[in-house]
Structure 1
């Protein structure tokens, strides 16, 4: 497990294949609607948008939280 800068920690959980841009956008949109504490709802909401061939656990609660944390780490704060 690697420590991130700031209050979010980057967790390496779940599949290591890259998420598509569409999947990342669906994740961010779902977090906007449900919040970053309700991973059950986030996971459930984005499952229909999976790319073909994704394993069943691709949008697990832990994997969604991990990917969202990664997205926050790689996003520059607005100035």
Structure 2
């Protein structure tokens, strides 16, 4: 089976290595401050917190939005 172009883009949208807990916390904190529609500000704010050796586009706007969406899906709402 061949993946469609859209499916292929979804598969390669984010970094393959996992984000650290620290990076996820920085992302969540930045989204709390800037909102989930301002990915330019979110990306810019958390770039200094990248782990050593991360590629330059690790905190790109698309990767930040994708990771935040993933965090929302995997986090249970408080009861």
Give the TM-score band, short-chain normalised: 0.7 to 0.9
Q: Which runs of 4+ in 1 moved over 4 A?
A: 8-12
* TM-score, structure 1 as length reference: 0.84
Higher helix share: 2
| SS across alignment from 1:57 | coil
Residues 11 and 29 from structure 1, CA distance in 2 versus in 1: closer, same or farther, beyond 3 angstroms?
farther
Structure 1: tracts of 5 or more residues without a match: 1-7
* RMSD after superposition: 3.0
Give the greater-gyration-radius structure (CA). Answer: 2
TM-score of the two chains, using structure 2 as the length reference? 0.84
- Number of aligned positions between the proteins: 72
Structure 2 residues without counterparts, runs of 5 or longer: 1-7
Moved more, 43-52 or 8-17: 8-17
